[in-house]
A and B are shown apart, each in its own frame.
Chain A
Amino acid sequence: MDRRETLKLLALAPFAFTLSPSDARLAAGKVRVAREDDSFAAQFFTDEEMESVRILVDMIIPADDRSGSATDVGVPAFMDSIMNVRPVMQTPMRGGLAWLNSYAEERFGVSFAEASDEQRRALLDAIAYPDDADPELLHGVAFFNSFRDLTASGFWTTRDGMEDLGYMGNTFVAEWTGAPDGEIERLGLGRATWDTV
């Protein structure tokens, strides 16, 4: 099957966020990943797991004055997609969420989703700092490291995320002028000793 056929199939698939390259170019600047309030039916996460996922991603990347939270930009939907294309990640994810619930039960007698804000922060505080975590919690630490990474993957690769970062590329540049003079001087750097464009 050639690439064009593959792309046509993807466009027909449900929950497809993929556009063909030409569509993508046309839509540049207008495309947003489906938000939480748009119809999104998880294909991997159970309802209970999705509740935990939503809470977790927003604790990891909350809204501030520059951009929204992880759920604002559809990170849970992204995670669900990833679970389906990378099955090797499924057990660590499912197991990690289960471990978190088990830990919440152990400490507070409730699941992670049922816990209060303060309780949830206490749970994360215990596993979010690998250098300072109780050795008995290493499985939670490992899970949270991966979950944090995946949250970042899902957040910063959105259009809102890229704008927040100030990414200025992926565009036609007629003349390359190199690094800004102000930055070169601020950092006390030299310039190339050879001629450049």
Chain B
Amino acid sequence: MFNINSPTVYDVAIVGSGAGGGMAAYVLTQAGANVVMLEAGPTWGAAADGDMFTWNYTSPTRGASSPEKPFGEFDGCIGGWEIEGEPYTHVEGTEWDWFRARMLGGRTNHWGRISLRFGPDDFRGYSIDGIGDDWPIRYEEVAPYYDKVDDLVGIFGNEAGFYNEPDGNFMLPPAPRLHELLVMQGAAKIGIPVLANRLSVITQNHRGRPACHYCSQCGRGCSTGSNFSSPSVLLPPARESGNLTIIDSAMAREVLTDVDGLARGISYVDRNDMQEYQVQARAVVLAASACESARLLLNSTSPRHPNGLANSSGVVGRYLMDSTGADVVGLFPQLIGRPSYNEDGAGGAHIYIPWFGYDQERDFARGYHLEVWGGRGQPSYGFMGGMHEYNDLFDARPRGGGGYGLQLKQDYRDLYGAIAGFAARGEMIARYDNYCEIDPTTVDRHGIPVLRFNVTWSDQEINQIRHAQESARSLVEAMGGEVLNPMPSRDDGYGILTPGRIIHEVGTVRMGDDPRTSALNPYCQAHDASNVFVADAAPFVSQAHKNTTWTILAMAWRTSENIVRLRNEGKL
């Protein structure tokens, strides 16, 4: 039988300590709620545990990636695509790569800090082009929360007034790097817009957190809290309220419900002793990441919820989306053999290219943005691999590329920082037939049934990525460079990355006005169980091409304020 962890009946139990969970904890504890938060991973803090300022030469593998650290040895995220004891499966013939974070703060520790708002069009895609579905809410309802998030967290950017890219309350952005100025020059030649990037990195001291010191190591976890992570920004004030209890190493198994079908708590496995425990709460907020929240609901069956909690509609797990992704890499002669300067900067590009194809005739409905990378970063494992493919591109060699010896050694020096590239991030269309479900036979090491995925790209995404490839290649040429990776064929999806690879999963517990076709109402409250809420990206009706975190934060704030309102009105 279950061991009850404590007799306390909390006001709210939150599953997940990342963007959504952290925000829910922040808002609810400020309102006086007694909150318990379950986090599957261990406690981790960037200052004590992170690798900011670590030199790659201090490791024998120089920062190489591994299954446990797929983004590099010093990356600030514990988790990965393959976690021992936590498998997932696929319907045959399909692919989905699923990244899980298992640490306090989740993916917010190492994410790219790209903090784009969804725009007005993104909430009403169906009304515009008849594809997918509209959200049950509009930008105007979320805008005040985006504003509050900007003010609480801090974000830099420029007020561009660009279509469907709403400006925020921005701090000044850092000036572009040399290769980024080259991008801007090339883009101007072919009419591609470039804006300052919008990163949740503070360029001035803000609410007790110091300004960024431009070491470009956001991904390692910022020891000064100068970027957004849940443990840097949301959890400290939540803890200071005295109203937050965090239970780490707690893998939620299911949401427990009472005879009326309302949630009454969470059962979880303590990963330290592998024993089962429960916490009791009057309301539950799931923010375990889109697929994990869906998994929890689907595993929470009961007589009142035979199809899984909040799933009378059958949509839980359905409409799974990730951003599309593809890469173009170029070599730029102007950047060869240049004098050094410290190009680290903030932990991400200082510019980005917003979707610009609204008025173009095209064979796909939704757009993408281009992320930019390049410059002279700290050398790490894999440094300038593939040199044989490009050291003769701008220096005619009698025998072509490659070689060895003094000339090659000089080639590394000269070509260091002469490579730059573009990563497309595009909107995937919501389709019922793309989903995750509970695998009928497989359990993880905790005994919790795992997810089985069934996702395929459609022509919408493939055609979009072709456009992105062509645009990025044109841009490389306009910049005077030469593209290093050949144009993939349609058979290869024009280089579209495996679904899941961009780690922007959304849609699996979608919101809507109609309980027959949605799991949550417009306040992310379950239609079927009024004390169950979802605060990660699972409620999203569409994926937009904007990175999801800022919208997760804004929506979680709105959802949590509504929980407070419902409680004050006696409806919870």
Q: Which residues of B contact A135 (CB under 8 A)?
A: none
- Distance between Cα atoms of A182 and B212 in the complex (Å): 25
In Å, the complex CA distance between A174 and B79 comes to: 33
Size bin of chain B's contact surface: 35 or more
- Residue of A31, A129, A172, A188 touching B402 (CB-CB under 8 A): A129
Whole-angstrom CA separation of A195 from B196 in the bound complex: 9
Question: B384 and A152: CB pair below 8 A?
Answer: yes
Interchain CB contact (< 8 A) of A191 among B61, B66, B175: B175
- Select B158's contact among A15, A62, A78, A194, beta carbons within 8 Å: A194
B342 touches A171 (CB 8 A): yes
A157 near B381 with CB under 8 A, answer yes
Q: State which residues 140-190 of A face B: CB under 8 Å.
A: 144-145, 148-149, 152-154, 156-159, 161-162, 164-174, 176-180, 183-184, 187-190
The answer to whether A197 and B406 have CB atoms under 8 Å apart is no
**Contacts of A64 on B, CB cut-off 8 Å?**
406, 409
> By the criterion CB–CB under 8 Å, are B62 and A164 in contact?
no
A196: interface (CB < 8 Å): yes
- A129:B59 contact, CB within 8 angstroms: no
How far apart are the CA atoms of A2 and B204 in the complex, in Å? Answer: 34
Complex Cα distance, B341 from A82, in Å, reads 31
CB contact between B400 and one of A77, A130, A145 (< 8 Å): that residue: A130
Q: B131 at the A/B interface (Cβ < 8 Å)?
A: no
Is B50 within 8 A of A179, CB to CB? Answer: no
- Chain B hits for A129, CB < 8 A: 388, 399-403
- B54 pairs with A24, CB closer than 8 A: yes
Contacts of A148 in B (CB 8 A): 387-388, 402, 404, 408
B381, chain A: closest CB distance, angstroms:
5
A176 in contact with B60 (CB, 8 Å): no
Question: Is the CB of A9 closer than 8 A to any CB of chain B?
Answer: no
Determine if A119 is an interface residue (Cβ-Cβ < 8 Å).
Answer: no
Do most interface residues of chain B lie in helix, strand or loop, or is the interface mixed?
Answer: loop
Residue of A24, A86, A144, A159 with most partner-chain B CB within 10 A: A24
The interface on chain A, measured as residues whose beta carbon lies within 8 A of the other chain's beta carbons, has a size of 74
Q: How far is the CA of A19 from the CA of B379 in the complex (A)?
A: 18
* Given A61-B408, A178-B176, CB of A169 within 8 Å of CB of B378: yes
Is residue A12 within 8 Å, beta carbon to beta carbon, of the partner chain? no
Chain B residue contacts of A180, Cβ below 8 A: 339, 341
Q: Is B502 an interface residue (CB 8 A)?
A: no
Known: A62-B409, A131-B400. A189 touches B55 (CB 8 A): no
Contact A187 B63 (CB under 8 A): no
Minimum C-beta distance from A18 to chain B (A): 5
Digitize B44-69: 1 where CB-to-A-CB distance is under 8 Å, 0 elsewhere.
10000111111111111111101000
Contact of A178 among B174, B381, B409 (CB under 8 A): B174
A5 to chain B, nearest CB (A): 10
Chain B 377-418 interface mask (CB, 8 Å, partner A; 1/0): 111111111111000100000011111111011001100100
Q: Return the chain A residue nearest B376 by Cβ.
A: A167
B residues in contact with A165, CB < 8 Å: 340, 376, 379, 412-413, 416
B15 shortest CB reach to chain A, Å: 21
On whether the beta carbons of A190 and B172 are closer than 8 Å, the reply is: no
Question: A61-B408, A64-B409, A153-B382 known; A183 and B55 CB under 8 Å?
Answer: no
Give the top 9 A-B pairs by smallest Cβ distance, nearest first.
A131-B400, A178-B175, A166-B340, A194-B158, A169-B344, A157-B62, A81-B60, A179-B178, A173-B214
B residues near A (Cβ < 8 Å) are 42, 44, 49-64, 66, 78, 156, 158-160, 172-178, 181-182, 184-185, 188, 195-196, 203-204, 212-217, 334, 338-346, 376-388, 392, 399-406, 408-409, 412-413, 416
